[in-house]
Structure 1
Amino acid sequence: MTLITANHQENPTKRDNLVTSSIHLEKGVWLGANVTVLPGVTVGENSIVGASSVITKDVPKNSVVVGSPAKKIRDIKFD
């Protein structure tokens, strides 16, 4: 798993300036093998992120997401 909290500015004259942003993993999150989470993302409570997914945007709670970039494929159903 890779949690990335730093990025660079797009302007070529300012690319040596780092821009940092927190990642938030809420309670009960499950990250599969080789997942990458980009800066500023929140992964919602109880969500599952499939192996090798790249999380570029917030993940809603109780969701299953997969792919690169990760897309929601279904809600988690509780018995």
Structure 2
Amino acid sequence: MSEKDAMWQERRLEEILTSGVDAASKAQQIIRLGFEPEFADELVERSQLGAKAPMYYESLRPDELAMYDESPIEPETKSGQA
């Protein structure tokens, strides 16, 4: 495949993934571009998850997030206990 064809294919792939059509239609269009069906399904799934997936730091527990914070964390105490 020439460089020009590869650039066109990449641009077309991006257009398909950002289009408003349903996931099955996106996968079919990607397959028509020459990709394997399994790879097309994976691309569509990843593009859909990417838009809805929480940011990495949003999925961390407070204790995991604390390792990125420079300020010290006070241990939680139960009420009535010191």
Structure number with bigger Rg: 2
Higher RCO (C-alpha 8 Å, min separation 6): 1
Higher strand share: 1
TM-score by length of 1: 0.21
Higher helix share: 2
